[in-house]
C-alpha cells in the first residue's frame, strides 16, 4: 500500500516507530496530486513548497519526541477558510487574488498540531451549491466517476480525500456541505454542533448556520481531526466555552445499549430505491451490533428546505455586502463613480448562483416582506429545533440517508436550481437545529457509486454519533473500497 493511501492514524503510528518521515509521506501525496489532479481538479491553490517546509519541521518535532496525532500529516483546507499568506478565493473571482493577513482559528490549531498543508480545496462560490459546479475556477470531478459531481459545496475537500490527494481535509457545512459531498465521494465527514468549532477566519455565508468540520478516510481519523480543531475561541462570539472530550475515546466496535431513532419522514418521494435499501441494511447491521430502534417524528422537517432558502440567502445578502470593490478583492475597471463601482464590481465578480441568493435574501429582508418571510422562517426554524429535542428524548442518535440520490452527472441540474436544492433535503434540518451530523459510506449502487448513511446527535453529543459510526464501520468494509482512479 502506498503512503498516500493510508489513514492518518496508520501514518501516525509509522511516524512514531520511525518507519517513515513526514517528508516521505508528503512527497508521496504530492506525487499522487501530480498524477490525478488534472482529472479531478480538487484544488484551487497548491502549496508544495510550504508543505515540504512544514514536513521538515514536523520531522524535527518527531525526533524530539514531541509528536501529536496530526504531526506530519498532509491536509487540504477548503478555500473558504483564511490562511495567512496563502490565497483564499472562496471559489469566486471577486476574491481572485485575496491573500489573508491572518489564519483562521482552525488553521492556527492545525499548525500548532504540526500538520502539513497541501493547498486550498475547490468549492462552490461562497459555499453556495450542492455540486461544486458553481466554482469560478471550474468544477471538481468525482473520483468514483469523473463525469459525476463530487457534491457541494465542499466538493474539492471530499474529492481530495477520496482520490488520495490528501490524508484528511477541512470543509464547511451550512446546509449539508460536508455530509452530502462525503456521501457522494464515499468518505467520512462530520458537521460538529454549532459552536463546537470556531468560525473565526471562516468567510461567512450564513453566520447562524455555517460550521467547519473534517473529511477523512475513516471514523478514527475524523475523531482525531475533530479533537484538534474543537474548542472555545474568544474572538468568535458564537464559540461555546465547553470542555472538549477526547473523541477517540468514544470509539467502540459495538452499539450495545444505543437507541437509534428512525424518522417517519426520512423515506418517500425523491428517495432513490438503492439509497433506501443501503440505509435499511445499515440499520439492520447496527441492530445486530446491539442497537435498538424506535420510530421518531420530525413533523416540521418538510418545511426545512423552504426555511433554509429564506434564512440562508438573507444572511448571505448581509454578509456579502462587504464585497464591493472598496477595500479588498476584485474592483471593476473603467468605472464612472462610486455607484458604478459597486454595481460593476459585484456584477462582474459574483457568479449566477451567488447573485440569485443575494437577490432572494435582499427581497425577503426588504420593507413589507420581512415579517412574511424572514420572521416566519425563523419561527418555523424554532419548531424544527423542538422536533429534534423531542426526538432525542426517545433515542441516542437519529439515522437516515445523507442524500436522496447518489452523485448525479455534471451538468445534469445546473439549469434547474430547485432540483439542485433538493439534494440537501435530508441534511438541512440538522443545520437549522444546530445539532451535529456525520455521513459515512454504507454501500454502493449497481454502477459502483457510494451511498452515505447520516447519523445525527443532540447538541454536543458528537461522541454518540462517532460511536455508532465507528461500530458500523468496524463491522463492514465499505470504507476500505477505493475509488477506481489510477
Could you count the other beta carbons within 10 Å of the beta carbon of residue 70?
Answer: 28
CA-to-CA separations, 181 to 98, 185, 219, in angstroms, rounded: 26, 6, 16
Buried/exposed 347-374: b ≥16 CB within 10 Å, e otherwise: eebbbebbbebbebbbebbeeeeeeebb
- Known catalytic membership, residue 78: yes
- Catalytically annotated residue among 154, 177, 317, 439: 177
- Catalytically annotated residue among 135, 153, 154, 216: 153
Four-residue CA torsion sign, 248, 252, 257, 258:
positive
Burial of 11 (0-12, 13-18, 19+ CB in 10 A): buried
Distance CA 36, CA 400 (A): 33
Residue listed under C-alpha cell 445534469: 412
- Known catalytic membership, residue 177: yes
Chain centroid to Cα 29, Å, comes to 21
CA-to-CA separations, 124 to 42, 90, 131, 135, 225, in angstroms, rounded: 12, 8, 7, 4, 23
Cβ-proximal residues to 113 (8 Å cutoff; 6+ apart), any chain = 68, 69, 70, 71, 228
Cβ-proximal residues to 100 (8 Å cutoff; 6+ apart), any chain = 82, 83, 84, 85, 86, 88, 201
Q: Characterise 55 by phi-psi region: left (phi > 0), alpha (psi -120 to 50), beta (else).
A: alpha
Task: Give me the residues paired with residue 121 across strands.
Answer: 43, 78
Four-residue CA torsion sign, 16, 168, 201, 461:
negative
Enter the C-alpha cell of residue 425. 433535503
Burial of 109 (0-12, 13-18, 19+ CB in 10 A): buried
Q: Which of 261, 260, 257, 262 is nearest to 290 (CA)?
A: 257
- Catalytically annotated residue among 22, 28, 78, 120: 78
Residue listed under C-alpha cell 514536523: 58
Q: Catalytic residue positions?
A: 78, 153, 177
Amino acid at each position: 500500500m502506498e503512503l498516500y493511501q493510508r489513514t492518518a492514524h496508520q501514518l501516525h503510528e509509522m511516524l512514531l516507530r520511525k518507519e517513515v518521515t513526514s517528508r516521505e509521506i508528503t512527497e508521496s501525496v504530492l506525487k499522487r496530486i501530480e498524477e490525478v489532479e488534472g482529472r479531478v481538479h480538487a484544488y484551487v491553490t497548491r502549496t508544495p513548497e510550504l508543505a515540504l517546509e512544514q514536513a521538515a519541521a514536523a520531522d524535527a518535532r518527531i525526533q524530539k519526541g514531541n509528536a501529536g496525532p496530526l504531526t506530519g500529516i498532509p491536509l487540504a483546507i477548503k478555500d473558504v477558510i483564511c490562511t495567512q499568506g496563502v490565497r483564499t478565493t472562496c471559489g469566486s473571482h471577486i476574491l481572485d487574488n485575496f491573500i489573508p493577513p491572518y489564519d483562521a482559528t482552525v488553521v492556527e490549531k492545525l499548525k500548532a498540531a504540526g500538520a502539513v498543508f497541501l493547498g486550498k480545496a475547490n468549492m462552490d462560490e461562497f459555499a453556495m451549491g450542492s455540486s461544486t459546479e458553481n466554482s469560478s475556477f471550474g468544477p471538481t470531478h468525482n473520483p468514483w466517476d469523473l463525469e459525476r459531481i463530487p457534491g457541494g459545496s465542499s466538493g474539492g475537500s471530499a474529492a481530495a480525500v477520496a482520490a488520495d490527494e490528501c490524508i484528511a481535509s477541512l470543509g464547511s457545512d451550512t446546509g449539508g456541505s460536508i455530509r452530502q459531498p462525503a456521501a457522494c465521494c464515499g468518505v467520512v465527514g462530520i458537521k460538529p454542533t454549532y459552536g463546537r468549532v470556531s468560525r473565526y477566519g471562516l468567510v461567512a455565508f450564513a453566520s447562524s448556520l455555517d460550521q467547519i468540520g473534517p473529511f477523512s478516510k475513516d471514523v478514527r481519523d475524523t475523531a482525531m481531526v475533530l479533537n484538534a480543531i474543537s474548542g472555545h475561541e474568544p474572538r468568535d462570539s458564537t464559540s461555546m466555552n465547553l470542555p472538549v472530550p477526547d473523541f477517540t475515546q468514544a470509539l467502540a466496535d459495538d452499539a450495545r445499549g444505543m437507541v437509534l431513532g428512525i424518522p417517519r419522514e426520512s423515506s418517500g418521494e425523491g428517495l432513490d430505491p438503492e439509497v433506501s435499501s443501503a440505509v435499511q441494511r445499515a440499520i439492520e447491521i447496527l441492530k445486530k451490533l446491539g442497537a435498538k430502534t424506535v420510530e421518531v417524528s420530525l413533523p416540521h422537517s418538510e418545511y426545512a428546505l423552504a426555511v433554509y432558502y429564506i434564512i440562508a440567502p438573507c444572511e448571505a445578502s448581509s454578509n456579502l455586502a462587504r464585497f464591493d470593490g472598496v477595500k479588498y478583492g476584485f474592483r471593476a475597471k473603467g468605472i464612472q463613480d462610486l455607484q458604478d463601482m459597486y454595481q460593476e464590481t459585484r456584477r462582474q465578480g459574483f457568479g449566477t448562483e451567488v447573485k440569485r441568493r443575494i437577490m432572494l435574501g435582499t427581497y425577503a429582508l426588504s420593507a413589507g416582506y420581512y415579517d412574511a418571510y424572514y420572521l416566519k422562517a425563523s419561527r418555523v426554524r424554532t419548531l424544527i429545533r423542538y422536533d429534534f429535542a423531542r426526538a432525542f428524548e426517545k433515542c441516542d442518535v437519529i439515522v437516515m440517508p445523507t442524500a436522496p440520490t447518489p452523485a448525479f452527472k455534471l451538468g445534469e441540474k445546473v439549469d434547474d436550481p430547485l432540483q439542485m436544492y433538493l439534494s440537501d433535503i435530508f441534511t438541512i434540518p440538522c443545520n437549522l437545529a444546530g445539532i451535529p451530523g456525520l455521513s459515512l459510506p454504507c454501500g454502493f449502487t449497481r454502477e459502483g457509486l457510494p451511498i452515505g448513511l447520516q447519523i445525527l446527535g443532540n447538541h454536543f453529543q458528537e461522541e454518540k454519533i462517532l460511536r455508532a459510526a465507528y461500530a458500523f464501520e468496524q463491522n463492514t468494509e465499505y470504507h476500505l473500497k477505493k475509488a477506481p482512479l489510477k
